């Protein structure tokens, strides 16, 4: 179990999480009930569907100093609104391509799937993503 | 009136010249006191209307811009280079010193008194450096827009740019649901006539570009490149386009790796507007 407390690690990543109401957010609730620990670096924002997340929201998050952005949607085929998660996956893919071209680390953006009953899986996803962002270091970009 | 060129290709000045016959009446009420492309004259002490043309590439451009702002009662950013940074702005994606060494195999010497003006590290759009009173975007501004604008400043009419996107003027707009089954490169061979480019999988920036040019490129069988820049209310039009494109892709015919076929996203989405975009602020300081 990695110790991510302020005493041991100085750089505390700021991670913005867009969790869809029906799957991702419910999974986070379940993780809480099951007492599954995950790092507190993530700030969770509930959206009705992962497909609602606009690329401008992700860009603004990074320009405001977020070190990582995580989007959790329903598994492919299980979206409450049928295909919102597919749209989200494609938006994220194009955005990562764009980040790569401008020299911004595309690994700072990640999209994953977790159903409402997978509290354990969600806590693992958040833990792994936080560790990855820790390895990548702080987001040094400045916003005017 | 004066035409104030910075680092420019002279396309915008030529666009005005092209309209000479059409704007003959208006020109009778305009005295052009300075226009290096037309005539040899000293810089005037002040003008009523100054048209800034071109992008700010060197320190001399910046000094000129400050000087001309002081000399002009009304300063207009004419053309996409002046409004948004323009096509040369794409080089902001690279380190300019490294680019010079790449091309010329040695760096520029600035020490001698007769040397070249210093290159700005990044091209910044003119509105971010001085107060601009009007913007007339376009590469060059479309011939429908220029007479309207010149009439407005000559006779004191109200002038405002159109607020809708190009789809409103486009003859191929069928308002039908887009379901892209294949992402294709624009080529005259495989295109279907009279069908919306986006429906065929060809990237056309019409949905995120301001109208005003009466879709002249579309009428010449070419997809829109977005030279008039974004509409007013949208924060970052490229992000909107990514959202729109991603949502219009077929669920069955398109796979994620098909998206890798779009090779130059920055060039597609920010061809004329890179310096004025939010993503240009993304530069991890190494």
Q: Please report the ipTM that was assigned to this predicted complex.
A: 0.91
**Site from B183, B208, B245, B246 to mutate, A interface, most A CB atoms within 10 angstroms:** B246
Better-scored residue on pLDDT, A86 or A6: A86
Of B196, B199, B284, the closest CA to residue B249 belongs to B199
Confidence (pLDDT) at B286? 36
Contact (CB, 8 A) for B244 and B201: no
State whether B269 and A98 contact (CB < 8 Å).
yes
State whether A94 and B93 contact (CB < 8 Å).
no
Indicate if the pLDDT at residue A143 is higher than 60: no
Which residues in B lie closer than 8 A to residue A81 (C-beta atoms)? Answer: none
Which residues in A lie closer than 8 A to residue B280 (C-beta atoms)? Answer: 102
Which residues on chain B place their C-beta less than 8 Å from a C-beta of chain A?
93, 235-236, 238-240, 242-243, 245-247, 249, 251, 254, 256, 259-260, 262, 264-266, 269, 278-286
State whether B282 and A102 contact (CB < 8 Å).
yes
What would the pLDDT profile of B192-250 be if each residue is shown by its tens digit?
888 899 998 999 999 999 999 999 999 999 999 999 999 988 879 999 999 999 999 99
Confidence (pLDDT) at B189? 67
State whether B236 and A59 contact (CB < 8 Å).
yes
The Cα of B59 is separated from the nearest Cα of chain A by a number of Å equal to 21
| Helix/strand/coil for B258 | helix
Considering just the CA atoms, what is the radius of gyration of chain B in Å?
Answer: 21
Q: What pTM was computed for the model?
A: 0.92
pLDDT-based confidence at residue B283 (cuts at 50, 70, 90):
low
Give dist(CA B31, CA B34) in Å, integer: 9
DSSP annotation of B126: G
Give dist(CA B11, CA B143) in Å, integer: 12
Chain A, nearest residue to B254 by Cα: A90
Q: Which residues pair with B286 in a beta bridge?
A: none
Indicate if the pLDDT at residue B187 is higher than 80: no
Which residues on chain A place their C-beta less than 8 Å from a C-beta of chain B?
51, 54-56, 59-60, 62-63, 83, 86-87, 89-91, 93-95, 97-99, 101-105, 139-144
What would the pLDDT profile of A68-119 be if each residue is shown by its tens digit?
999 999 999 999 999 999 999 999 999 999 999 998 999 999 999 999 999 9
Which residues in A lie closer than 8 A to residue B236 (C-beta atoms)? Answer: 56, 59
Of B271, B231, B280, B272, the closest CA to residue B82 belongs to B272
What would the pLDDT profile of B120-158 be if each residue is shown by its tens digit?
999 999 999 999 999 999 999 999 899 999 989 888 888
The closest CB to that of B281, out of A54, A140, A144, belongs to A144
Q: What is the DSSP string of B164-219?
A: SBGGGT-TT---PPP-B---B---TTTPPTTS-TTTTTB---GGGSB--STTHHHH
State whether A90 and B246 contact (CB < 8 Å).
yes
Helices (H) and strands (E) in chain B, counts: 9, 6
Of A73, A88, A79, A71, the closest CA to residue A129 belongs to A71
Indicate if the pLDDT at residue B94 is higher than 80: yes
Give dist(CA B190, CA B173) in Å, integer: 20
What b/e string do you get for B163-192 counting C-beta neighbours within 10 Å, with b at 16 or more? eebbbebbebeeeeebebeebeeeeeeeee
State whether B249 and A54 contact (CB < 8 Å).
no
Better-scored residue on pLDDT, B229 or B110: B229
CA A110 from chain centre, in angstroms, equals: 6
**Site from A50, A68, A90 to mutate, B interface, most B CB atoms within 10 angstroms:** A90
Which residues in B lie closer than 8 A to residue A55 (C-beta atoms)? Answer: 239-240, 242-243
């Amino acid at each position: 179990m990695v110790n991510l407390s302020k005493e041991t690690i100085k750089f505390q990543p700021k991670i913005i999480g867009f969790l869809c109401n029906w799957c991702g957010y419910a999974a986070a609730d379940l993780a809480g009930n099951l007492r599954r620990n995950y790092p507190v670096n993530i700030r969770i924002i509930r959206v009705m569907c992962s497909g609602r997340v606009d690329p401008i929201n992700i860009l603004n998050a990074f320009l405001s100093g977020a070190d990582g952005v995580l989007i959790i949607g329903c598994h492919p085929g299980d979206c409450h609104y049928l295909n919102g998660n597919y749209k989200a996956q494609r938006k994220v893919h194009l955005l990562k391509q764009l980040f790569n071209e401008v020299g911004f680390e595309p690994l700072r953006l990640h999209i994953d799937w977790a159903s409402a009953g997978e509290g354990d899986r969600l806590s693992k996803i958040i833990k792994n993503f936080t560790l990855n962002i820790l390895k990548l270091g702080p987001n040094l970009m400045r916003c005017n | 009136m004066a035409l104030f060129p910075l680092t420019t290709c002279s396309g915008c000045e030529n666009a005005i010249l092209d309209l000479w016959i059409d704007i003959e009446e208006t020109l009778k009420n305009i005295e052009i006191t300075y226009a290096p492309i037309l005539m040899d004259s000293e810089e005037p002490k002040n003008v009523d209307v100054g048209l800034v043309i071109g992008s700010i590439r060197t320190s001399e451009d910046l000094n000129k811009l400050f000087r001309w702002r002081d000399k002009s009662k009304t300063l207009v950013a004419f053309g996409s280079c002046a409004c948004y940074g323009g096509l040369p702005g794409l080089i902001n994606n690279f380190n300019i010193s490294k680019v010079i060494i790449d091309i010329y195999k040695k760096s520029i010497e600035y020490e001698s008194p007769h040397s070249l003006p210093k290159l700005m590290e990044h091209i910044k759009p003119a509105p971010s450096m001085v107060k601009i009173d009007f913007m007339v975007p376009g590469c060059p501004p479309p011939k429908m827009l220029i007479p309207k604008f010149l009439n407005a400043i000559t006779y004191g009419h109200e002038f405002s740019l159109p607020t809708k996107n190009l789809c409103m003027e486009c003859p191929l707009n069928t308002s039908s649901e887009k379901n892209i089954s294949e992402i294709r490169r624009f080529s005259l061979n495989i295109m279907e006539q009279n069908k919306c480019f986006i429906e065929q999988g060809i990237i056309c920036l019409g949905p995120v570009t301001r109208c005003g040019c009466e879709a002249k490129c579309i009428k010449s069988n070419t997809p829109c490149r977005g030279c008039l820049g974004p509409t007013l209310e949208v924060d970052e039009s490229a992000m909107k386009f990514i959202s729109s494109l991603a949502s219009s892709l077929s669920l069955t015919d398109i796979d994620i790796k098909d998206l890798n076929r779009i090779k130059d996203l920055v060039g597609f989405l920010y061809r004329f507007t890179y310096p004025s975009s939010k993503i240009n602020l993304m530069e991890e300081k190494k």
